[in-house]
Amino acid sequence: MIPVIEMDALFWIQNWTPLADSEFITKLGRVVSGEKWILGDNYHRTKDLKWSRVETIIWLDFSFLCIFKRALGRALLRIWRTQEIWAGTGNRETWARTFLSKDSVLLWTLTSYNGVKRRYAGIYENQEDSPYKVDWILQIRPGPFYPRLYKRGSMLLSQAMRNDEASRGGQIRSQGMLISSLSTGNQKPGES
């Protein structure tokens, strides 16, 4: 099984404390030095480290309404379940954090969506000018397959990577797959 790593799980420690960038980069470096991996991403400041080691980038280019509905639904479900988001951190969504805090994932989604979309659109449109040795970048927009992707996202993407590996005779030329959505987690406003 290919490990699927969520960037937020690397970034957030107890009491919603973010790791210092140097620690975060070190932790991420250990992850992407592995033989194979799938990384759920939305931290632009780590781009050089990740993209120098990634083979495939999948950009989940969903509409603002889709992203916001997902962020809201995920937050409400976590509040209702009092679910610890990343094991060992004690971090949980609360009504106050979600609806009344400057650190709200909903506020982050509202304030960052357009800028992040422009950034990724620019990268996607200028692939040939990229210094990174990424074989291809796939832009996925919602379509007939979207409900399956939404419900089984990491499993489907993990299977896609295995299928891609099989089509290359068992060889993945570099190490990983990067999956980037415009809102994948619980970043603080202003972080990307």
Q: Are 86 and 165 in contact (CB under 8 A)?
A: no
Neighbours of 129 (CB within 10 A): 7
The one-letter amino acid at 3: P
Task: Check pLDDT > 50 for residue 39.
Answer: yes
How many Å apart are CA 15 and CA 123, to the nearest integer? 34
Task: Check pLDDT > 60 for residue 147.
Answer: no
DSSP string, 11-22: HEEGGGEEPPHH
Q: What is the pLDDT of residues 108-144, one digit of tens each?
A: 999 998 988 888 778 777 777 776 666 555 666 665 4
Closest CA to 66 of 6, 147, 158: 147
Q: What is the mean pLDDT of the chain?
A: 75
Task: Check pLDDT > 90 for residue 101.
Answer: yes
Angle between helices 105-125 and 64-81 (to 10 degrees): 140
Q: Are 5 and 38 in contact (CB under 8 A)?
A: yes
Q: What is the pLDDT of residues 48-77, one digit of tens each?
A: 888 888 877 777 778 889 889 989 999 999
